[in-house]
Structure 1
Amino acid sequence: MTTQKADRATSKEQDRQLVEMAWDPITRIVGSLGIYAKIDFANREVVECHSTSSIFRGYSIFMKGKDPRDAHFITSRICGICGDNHATCSVYAQNMAYDVRPPHIGEWILNLGEAAEYMFDHNLYQENLVGVDYCEHMVRETNPGVLALAERTEAPHAGEHGYRTIADIMRSLNPLQGEFYREALQVSRLAREMFCLMEGRHVHPSTLYPGGVGTVATVQVFTDYLTRLMKYVDFMKRVVPMHDDLFDFFYDALPGYEEVGRRRVLLGCWGSLNDPEHCDFRYENMGDWGRRMFVTPGVIVDGRLVTDDLVDINLGIRILLGSSYYDDWVDQEQFVTHDPLGNPVDRRHPWNQHTIPRPQKRDFAGNYSWVMSPRWFDGTDLLALDTGGGPLARLWSTALSASVDIGYIETPGDGSVRINLPKTAARPPKTLVWRIPVRGGEFMSNALERNRARSYFQAYAAACALHFAEQALNEVRQGRTKTWSPFTVPENAISCGFTEAVRGLLSHHMVIRDGKIANYHPYPPTPWNASVRDSHGTPGPYEDAVQNTPIFEENGPENFKGIDIMRTVRSFDPCLPCGVHMYLGKGQELRRVHSPHAFSTP
């Protein structure tokens, strides 16, 4: 739904006619996200943006007092899209708290499940949701001049993906009618089956536990996985060059389009897919085993790696209230003063957070959303990190760390990631190379590069899965089929888990007292990306990326669809259930009292 209202505003240069427009809720995403913008149609740019989330859920409240062993089953229900990512992160936090290390094959199985989730979710979102933003129907309605150019533009990689012109690619993305759109739906089913082979069910796993997994490790189960995986690998050899052609065309067709959705490069990646050879889940060793992940953690500022140490990353997290509907907790109990290494822990760290909801009327001059404002403190500044939709930060961090070399994946240290896909039934071997995006000598974190990275990361996840399957099969052949290690729940402990949800960084922080959960705070990517203006007035990433975005849509205010704004927001892969919670408040209790004679028993 869109609404608009003229508003007079005065700049130093001129009086400008601004039009207020709102898209609430945003479609083709998960959850109740609203975008409220002021647009200067005369200068073709977005002047101001606020993002809102109108639902609250509160897992951090009702986790208190629960048995820690139930944490992954409960937190999985935070989201119906990336529930397994939450379960995985919770299991990691529990492994740290219980000081338990799963058998190697247990970790390979979990990695295979999570790699399948990346493949499934990115494929479904990229091809069937984001793809619609670039399909022929959409481009015809918003930029008919661009479509006309696409009709006469040959696709450079037509021999690899089968579409002669860019317009043919756009037609293949038309919802329900497009050939590629329908094919992608079938491929996502394959990936979902792969996930279920490893984790039991999608999206709330039934085989994940602290200490390992309940999956029965056999040659057959991994062969079934590989049969599907090779079909996915074959599909990737078409997907990546097709999207390269499409996104490169938009740069060429619309000079200046690199500014759509662009913001300063402030990327966060918490790393994912642990290497069981190195990961012991102990906090004291977290910096070392974190660097050995198959997706390397890192904070990237202005294109450069600031840190890849998970201990530093953990200690730098701050949760600001900003313009959100909560009361402060500065006068509440501080659960953790020092981490296990003796480092001081800030009161605004997730270990010390208290969630105190305060519902109120939305006020863009005050508080206007249920999403808080997570920030990362670099020692000087509180940085509004974003995830680049997940894949952009993951590939950028992994490229700069240059520590992954498993044959199928190489990081040569030149700002690139090489993905080596083997021969498949229909196609020869192919190497895909993702490079840190630079245009005009400047690093690019924009809508097109977030989307491009998503295609490359699908291939990255598939290549990792090939390695994981080989390692798991080797464990079975060696007779090492035990998938779980016993543990004891301590009376008191603090712990954290770090991984990457599909759309970006994910952490779970837990405090155990007297054998029960005393404090628990999950922080998925959406609070980071959808965060609102913080206590210092710094806008969150959605807001920042939309503000100052140029408008290339050919429609005027009366028929404006906001496609450039929508491409910006959707490039982050919003999933609002992860950013909001549940609140009962002090409502009325309704009861129906039945007469004792209303029912009879035989």
Structure 2
Amino acid sequence: MTERIVVDPITRIEGHLRIEARMEGDRIASAFSSGTSVRGIEIILKGRDPRDAWAFAQRICGVCTLVHGMASIRAVEDALKIDIPTNAQLIRNLMIGAQYVHDHVMHFYHLHALDWVDVVSALDADPKATSELAQSISKHALSSPGYFADVKQQLKGFVETGQIGIFANGYWGHPAYKLPPEANLMAVAHYLEALKWQREVAKLHAIFGGKNPHPNLVVGGVPSPIDLNSDSAINAEKLAQVKNILDMAQAFVTDVYLPDTLAIASFYKDWFQRGEGLGNFLTYGDFPAAGFGGDNLVPAGVILNRDLSTIHPVDMNAGGGIEEYVAHSWYDYAGGKDTGLHPYDGETKLNYTGPKPPYTQLDVDGAYSWIKSPRWKGNAVEVGPLARVLMMVASGNEQAKGLVDSALRQLDLPVEALYSTMGRVAARTLETRIIADAMTGWYDALIANIKSGDTTTFNGTSWQPSTWPSKAQGVGFMEAPRGGLGHWIVIEDGKIANYQAVVPSTWNAGPRDAGGQEGAYEAALQDNHQMVNPDQPLEILRTVHSFDPCLACAVHVMDPDGTERVQVKVC
């Protein structure tokens, strides 16, 4: 007997995602990923001044508050051949790094941990035993029996009123939960701590970019000048505040996030054996040491079939292997739905012929998503933290290799365990440690530059349209927290002629292509998934959430009848 399980919407993500799983008994036989609202940012940007593109592109998403703007600025700088000062690159690295550290911690505790942590079970925990557990894995200061007793009482108050707020709508009591009550209470306590912690980390964007979310950016550098004695610039006081934020962030990652991940993973070792899917991984590379395009902390490349001995180069330009397909998407191409287009030539032509929401089921033999299907030389690939950690290991990054070896040794697992749902979770945590450490180095380099007398943060050369060529094109790429992000721009006569963004959740959440090759979500769900209770599809949530989906990046909003909510006219 074949049954179809539908999860719509997938909760605790940004955007709208529908998963349909065809079952054979208690096993997922095939899965289908659908972005259920239309994309349109490319249409909005046509005809605009490319120097303004970042302000629109940055608002593709409200979670990735920085990265789309940064990719957009890099695209314009690439097209117009604008170099940026070293200080600007260091500040950009710090801002992107802050996005990573903030985003990964928030994802683990507030979006994904509840797939593994039974909040209600924490009410049965012994605070003294919880304290002993916490102190056995970490030196974190908040670990006394009294502290955990207070958290338990706070949680008890939520539950007794029946208004459990942020913990509502969970599958509490689901038989797939395995943590003992004490581990659940420890995780809930750290969930609440992380709510306060993330507010402080976000301040780094406000210091360098004026605000968060959506800090200010500028083509040619960063918008904030450096003047140690000025109240309206990056001064000594603000730089000291940045150092305090970095120290606080690093301590939480090292003493709370990393130990919690390994502790929780130790109870779910079976999830190191399911949820990989593709076995192909792509990174664009990011965190350049000097100017954009220099040596990167995260190298660029493609790994195929788990072969870490061979890193295939990535070419972002036309003919380099990156193409988007729409065979199973609600879009058309002038050359036909089976055509693959490089983003420079990308088209955003809507062709919705499916049923209007709410659907009974998707027409998976035809079009079933507002997400396109990107491919690298015809291969479906996974992007994100697992891809980056694998690329760093394959490239010889000693810290990455050491952290991976230590984690696997502590969990008594082979290296193959990385290729999994829980491996993806662990990779995100290890990556956060690497980036938190690297941020200290970028800060020190920035301070050293300032002390040497270099305070330049902006390059206005070739910034005026009168100096631009009549036609130019460029690509801005980076590693967003969720994976490789690319913005491609074509500029004609000083205006945007074409603009295409291929985002991490396009790579991972896209539907099948014309050859029937699944996207990363679909392939991962088809990899060794048994369902304990089909009415509470916790297993689907665990694997999909391990990618940290962000569908607002991949699609944009229409109403339930399929009509546009907003029209933006070019003046």
**Same fold per TM (> 0.5)?**
yes
Measured after TM superposition, the shift of residue 583 of structure 1 is: 6.6
Residues 302 and 443, structure 1, Cα contact 8 Å, conserved in 2: no
Q: What is the rounded CA distance, in whole Å, between the counterparts of 2:564 and 2:213 in structure 1? A: 34
Equivalent position of 2:354 in the other structure:
361
Aligned partner (choices 459, 466, 480) of residue 433 of structure 2: 459
Residues 272 and 417, structure 2, Cα contact 8 Å, conserved in 1: no
Q: What is the rounded CA distance, in whole Å, between the counterparts of 2:210 and 2:312 in structure 1? A: 33
Residues 122 and 185, structure 2, Cα contact 8 Å, conserved in 1: no
Measured after TM superposition, the shift of residue 532 of structure 1 is: 0.2
Aligned AA for 1:304?
A: D
Aligned partner (choices 162, 165, 180) of residue 190 of structure 2: 180
- In structure 2, relative to structure 1, the CA distance for the partners of 1:194 and 1:474 (3 Å cut) is same
Residues 97 and 493, structure 1, Cα contact 8 Å, conserved in 2: yes
Q: How does 1:242-261 map to 2 (within 5 A)?
A: 242-251=260-269, 256-261=270-275
Measured after TM superposition, the shift of residue 257 of structure 1 is: 3.3
Q: What is the rounded CA distance, in whole Å, between the counterparts of 1:372 and 1:45 in structure 2? A: 27
Equivalent position of 1:189 in the other structure:
199
Equivalent position of 2:542 in the other structure:
567
| TM-score, length of structure 1 as denominator length | 0.77
- Partner-residue secondary structure (3-state), 1:46: strand
Equivalent position of 1:385 in the other structure:
381
Equivalent position of 2:78 in the other structure:
96
Measured after TM superposition, the shift of residue 443 of structure 1 is: 5.8
Residues 273 and 295, structure 1, Cα contact 8 Å, conserved in 2: yes
Residues 511 and 519, structure 1, Cα contact 8 Å, conserved in 2: yes
Equivalent position of 2:305 in the other structure:
302
Deviations 1:220-276 (A, max 9, x none): 32211111111121112222122112112211xxxx433332213211111111222
Residues 267 and 393, structure 1, Cα contact 8 Å, conserved in 2: yes
Measured after TM superposition, the shift of residue 216 of structure 1 is: 2.9
Measured after TM superposition, the shift of residue 398 of structure 1 is: 1.5
Residues 501 and 525, structure 1, Cα contact 8 Å, conserved in 2: yes
Equivalent position of 2:419 in the other structure:
445
In structure 2, the gaps of 5 or more residues are 146-178, 227-234, 356-362, 567-571
- In structure 2, relative to structure 1, the CA distance for the partners of 1:511 and 1:98 (3 Å cut) is same
Aligned AA for 2:286?
A: S
Measured after TM superposition, the shift of residue 517 of structure 1 is: 1.0
Q: What is the rounded CA distance, in whole Å, between the counterparts of 1:484 and 1:119 in structure 2? A: 26
Q: What is the rounded CA distance, in whole Å, between the counterparts of 2:562 and 2:186 in structure 1? A: 51
Q: How does 1:330-349 map to 2 (within 5 A)?
A: 330=335, 348-349=341-342
Equivalent position of 1:135 in the other structure:
117
- Is residue 507 from structure 1 mapped to residue 486 from structure 2 by the alignment? yes
- Partner-residue secondary structure (3-state), 2:268: helix
Q: How does 1:203-352 map to 2 (within 5 A)?
A: 203-206=213-216, 208-217=217-226, 218-238=235-255, 239-251=257-269, 256-276=270-290, 279=291, 281=292, 286=293, 289=294, 292-305=295-308, 306-307=310-311, 309-311=313-315, 315-330=320-335, 348-352=341-345
Equivalent position of 2:509 in the other structure:
530
- Is residue 21 from structure 1 mapped to residue 24 from structure 2 by the alignment? no
Equivalent position of 2:148 in the other structure:
none
Equivalent position of 2:530 in the other structure:
551
Q: What is the rounded CA distance, in whole Å, between the counterparts of 1:110 and 1:569 in structure 2? A: 30
Equivalent position of 1:5 in the other structure:
none
- In structure 2, relative to structure 1, the CA distance for the partners of 1:269 and 1:360 (3 Å cut) is same
Equivalent position of 1:8 in the other structure:
none
Equivalent position of 1:495 in the other structure:
474
Residues 417 and 434, structure 1, Cα contact 8 Å, conserved in 2: no
- In structure 2, relative to structure 1, the CA distance for the partners of 1:401 and 1:437 (3 Å cut) is farther
Across the two proteins, how many residue pairs are aligned to each other? Answer: 501
In structure 1, the gaps of 5 or more residues are 1-16, 145-149, 333-345, 405-409, 420-430, 591-602
Aligned AA for 2:195?
A: L
Measured after TM superposition, the shift of residue 438 of structure 1 is: 10
Equivalent position of 1:115 in the other structure:
97
- Partner-residue secondary structure (3-state), 1:273: strand
Q: What is the rounded CA distance, in whole Å, between the counterparts of 1:588 and 1:465 in structure 2? A: 42
Measured after TM superposition, the shift of residue 71 of structure 1 is: 1.1
- Partner-residue secondary structure (3-state), 2:515: coil
Q: What is the rounded CA distance, in whole Å, between the counterparts of 1:96 and 1:163 in structure 2? A: 53
Question: Whose helix proportion is higher, 1 or 2?
Answer: 2
Residues 262 and 549, structure 1, Cα contact 8 Å, conserved in 2: no
Equivalent position of 2:394 in the other structure:
400
Q: What is the rounded CA distance, in whole Å, between the counterparts of 2:427 and 2:324 in structure 1? A: 28
Higher relative contact order, chain-length normalized (CA < 8 Å, sep 6+): 2
Q: What is the rounded CA distance, in whole Å, between the counterparts of 1:433 and 1:549 in structure 2? A: 23
Q: What is the rounded CA distance, in whole Å, between the counterparts of 1:441 and 1:106 in structure 2? A: 38
Q: How does 1:151-162 map to 2 (within 5 A)?
A: 157-160=136-139
| TM-score, length of structure 2 as denominator length | 0.81
Residues 50 and 364, structure 1, Cα contact 8 Å, conserved in 2: yes
Q: What is the rounded CA distance, in whole Å, between the counterparts of 2:114 and 2:562 in structure 1? A: 42
Q: What is the rounded CA distance, in whole Å, between the counterparts of 1:313 and 1:249 in structure 2? A: 45
Equivalent position of 2:107 in the other structure:
125
Equivalent position of 2:31 in the other structure:
49
**Runs of 4+ residues deviating >4 angstroms:** 138-141, 153-157, 159-166, 431-441, 582-590
- Partner-residue secondary structure (3-state), 2:496: strand
Aligned AA for 2:274?
A: V
Question: Whose strand proportion is higher, 1 or 2?
Answer: 1
